[in-house]
Structure 1
Amino acid sequence: MKTTFVTDLLQNWQTTKPNLYSIADRLYQCIKQQAPELIEKVKYGGILFYRTEAESSVICGVFVYQQHVSLEFSQGAQFEDVYQQLEGSGRFRRHLKFRNRNELDTKNLNYYLALAIHS
C-alpha cells in the first residue's frame, strides 16, 4: 500500500522533475506489480522497498537525479548480469540508469526486478 510519504515524494517529483517523473512512477508501478507485499519507505531522497521492517531487508530503491532515474539493487553484485546492463562497482550494490521512457523497455527491467525480488 502506498504510504503518504511515498505519495508526497511522487507528487514532488511530478512537480519538480516532470520529465523524469513518468520513469520513476513506471518503475514504482512495476515493482509493486511484481511484489505487492514489499514494504515501501521514503529514505535517502528515494523510495526503498523492503521484504520486512528490518533495515537489512531492503532489496531495491528508486531515486530521481537531475538527468536520470536510478533503480538501485542492494545485492545487485550477486546478480547474474546476462544482459550486461548493471552499472556500479561497489561491493554489494548495482543500478540501472534510465534517462528516457524508451529505456524502460530496452534495459530488461523485469529480468532484474525478478532477480532482486526472488533472490
Structure 2
Amino acid sequence: MRSPVRPAALIAAHFDTLSPPVREVAQALHKLVAETAPQLTQTLQWGNVVFQHQGRNAIGIAAHKSYVLLQFFNGALLATQFSALEGTGKGLRHLKCRLQQPLDVELVANLVQASVDELQP
C-alpha cells in the first residue's frame, strides 16, 4: 500500500496553485489548524490538505472558487455543539469560509480542539 505524500514542500506548492484570495483563506486555516493541533500530521489527499491523527483523517482544507471548506471527518459528533457546521451524512461536516468574510479565528480554534478531543481514546 502506498503511503500518503507528506512533504511540506508539496503542501506549500499546493497552496501556490490556488488563486490569491482563495490561497489567503486556505493558508490562514492551515496555520490555525497547525497551531491548534500540532500533534496532527499533514498530507495531501484528493487535491486537498488533510490533517491526520494516528493515520486517520481528521481535518481537511478544501479550496473552491469562492470559498474554502474546513472539513471535519468526525464532524457529526460536533454538530450539536457547533451550529456553524454544515453538511449531512455519516460523519463529515464542514465550516464554509467565504472569501469576502473575516475568518472567525476563535470558532476555528474551538472546532479544531473539539475535533481533536473526540479523536483521543
Normalising TM by the smaller chain, what interval? 0.7 to 0.9
Query: How many residues were matched structurally?
Result: 113
| In the alignment, structure 1 residue 11 sits paired with structure 2 residue 16 | yes
Structure 2 unaligned regions, length at least 5: 1-5
Shift of 1:34: 1.0
Q: Are the equivalent residues in 2 in contact too, given 1:22–1:101 (CA < 8 A)?
A: no
User: Residue 69 and residue 107 in structure 1: after superposition, are their counterparts in 2 closer, same or farther (change >3 A)?
Assistant: farther
Aligned to 1:40: 42
TM-score between the two structures when normalised by the length of structure 1: 0.85
RMSD over aligned Cα atoms: 2.0
Q: 1:16-67 deviations in whole A, cap 9, x for unaligned?
A: x111111100100001101122111111111000112x3xx11110010111
Structure 1 segment 1-119 matched on structure 2, within 5 A: 3-13=8-18, 17-52=19-54, 54=55, 57-100=56-99, 102-105=101-104, 108-119=107-118
Structure 1 unaligned regions, length at least 5: none
Q: Are the equivalent residues in 2 in contact too, given 1:76–1:94 (CA < 8 A)?
A: yes
TM-score between the two structures when normalised by the length of structure 2: 0.83
Shift of 1:82: 3.2
Runs of 4+ in 1 over 3 A off after TM superposition: 80-83
